[in-house]
Chains A and B, each alone.
Chain A
Amino acid sequence: MISPPVVTGIGAVAPNGLGTAEYWDAICAGTSGIRPVSRFDASGYPSKLAGEVAGFVAEQHLPSRLLPQTDHMTRLALTAADLALADAGVQAGELPPLDLGVVTASSAGGFEFGQRELERNWSRGNEYVSAYQSFAWFYAVNTGQISIRHGFKGPSGVLVSDQAGGLDAIAQARRQLRRGSAMIVTGGVDGSICPWGWVAQLASGRLSASDDPTAAYLPFDARAAGHVPGEGGAILILEDAEAARERHAAHVYGQIAGYAATFDPKPGSGREPGLRRAIEGALADAGVASDDVDVVFADAAAIPALDHIEAEAIAAVFGAGGVPVTAPKTMTGRLYAGAASLDVAAALLAIRDDLVPPTVNVRPARGYPIEIVTGSPHRMPVRVAVVIARGHGGFNSVLVIRAAGTAVEATSKAIEN
């Protein structure tokens, strides 16, 4: 049996923590990064709150050559990749460049950069549009910039499936490892907190109009009325388990043990949404039984109909209240393509520390058949975690993460069941 790939480096850039330790400490302490928008004047818009990465000064993290050609979210992604590669102890030139790839998720590309160049196009003429616009707005830009900066020349790509993309990218990275790559930089960092990005997000009808940071994003709560958008995410270093052993990787946070993705049936068809099948498919792929799962990181849409679909799918697989469910994204807002890989980072750290971070501000409503972790973080053994992510338009993706070194035990247990 081939061992599942392992995560050996984590780089988190989140609204409540710039850096992995800072993010983990913040979510375990219940510290939120949701505040009034500061990146532009949002006072005239229906939604005025966001999760912005506070204290990020690009010049402190990146060389000047990269600044004129990068959107804000690409700068965050490059910083996250630097953190992840340093965490993994990857030395330049250590591995053959063609064995190293980059697969990230994106939802909007570099919107703020694109807005500025479109303004120049309309107000001054096309000769005033930056040559860098040719790629700086593009979905694949983070993959390209990380690849160039670190000389990763192997299989690379981008996944665009809204919030589900953060898991779909990791799954694609896993495929590339199976095809023979040694290491893939993966995950997602996203964000479009600028006027153009804001109106595009408002058009979804899913943004909270609350001005109260403690009451604006309340999934599974009777007061749920949309989400707060955020920026950031996480970049992960995914390696073939054998390759990680050979280079004596400093950390092995856990295995990417299973994955499945489904698409919802046409609205109004009356058919069951696809999420339950995605959870079951991911568990089957991992070879773990539902009662082996210690915690579920929820998608947590904070749209009542979507929260019901998610809670019912979780209960259908794990039993009503059968597994602790948490949503630390209540402290960051929804980060679109950045959200799910940040949840994967949290799940890996939950396994490391046997600690489940809480869901903040939420008073779970009656009628949701799930047990939500609220208040303080729960100290409990965590060996297997499930992360759920859904993308606007019907994407359902589920990832199963397992403590490293448990493959044989977990597999035999699944067979017994």
Chain B
Amino acid sequence: MSVSTVGLAELRQILRDSAGVEAGVDLDGEILDITFEDLGYDSIAVLETAARITQEYGLPVDDDTLTVTSTPRELLALIGTG
């Protein structure tokens, strides 16, 4: 585990790998405050993304809190590295 923090760049990559990119969405644009739903990600895509963060960075994400996390900024805050 070479990196211990997850920033927006890492989150973008994890989203790409674990859920792909919806047509018409610019994942490299200003996405911090756009809801996952508007980015084309459903709840299972967010769940998968959170699981990958735990697997790759050892940062646990509480499932119950995750269900009320609606934007990349909130997710990064939740894992304490945003």
Contacts and interface: CB of A to CB of B under 8 A. Distances in A.
Interface in A109-163: 127-128, 130-132, 134
Contacts of A128: 55
Given A128-B55, A131-B51, A65 B44 contact: no
Given A132-B44, A134-B44, A63 B20 contact: yes
A64 interface: yes
A67 interface: yes
B47 A131 contact: yes
A64 B21 contact: yes
B73 to A, nearest CB: 22
A66 interface: yes
Contact of B23 (A63, A67, A69): A63
B19 A65 contact: yes
A68 B51 contact: no
Interface in A41-79: 63-69
B47 A66 contact: no
A127 to B, nearest CB: 6
Contacts of B81: none
A68 B48 contact: yes
B20 A66 contact: yes
Contacts of A131: 44, 47-48, 51
Interface string B30-44: 000000000010001
A127 B54 contact: yes
A64 B22 CA distance: 7
B44 A68 contact: no
Interface string B41-61: 000110110010011000000
Contact of A130 (B22, B23, B51, B54): B51
Contacts of B51: 127, 130-131
B22 A65 contact: yes
B18 A68 contact: yes
B17 interface: yes
A384 B21 CA distance: 47
Contacts of B18: 68
Contacts of A132: 44, 48
A115 to B, nearest CB: 18
Given A127-B54, A128-B55, A65 B48 contact: no
Contacts of B54: 127
A128 B44 CA distance: 15
A63 B20 CA distance: 8
Contacts of B23: 63, 65
A127 B55 contact: yes
A66 B22 CA distance: 9
A235 B21 CA distance: 27
A127 B22 CA distance: 26
B58 to A, nearest CB: 11
A64 B39 CA distance: 13
Contacts of A64: 16, 20-21
Nearest to A125: B55
Contacts of A66: 20
Nearest to A62: B20
Given A131-B44, A132-B44, A132-B48, A68 B55 contact: no
Given A69-B44, A127-B55, A134-B44, 5 more contacts: A65-B19, A65-B23, A65-B40, A67-B20, A131-B48
12 contacts: A63-B20, A63-B22, A63-B23, A65-B19, A65-B22, A66-B20, A69-B19, A69-B45, A127-B54, A131-B44, A131-B51, A134-B44
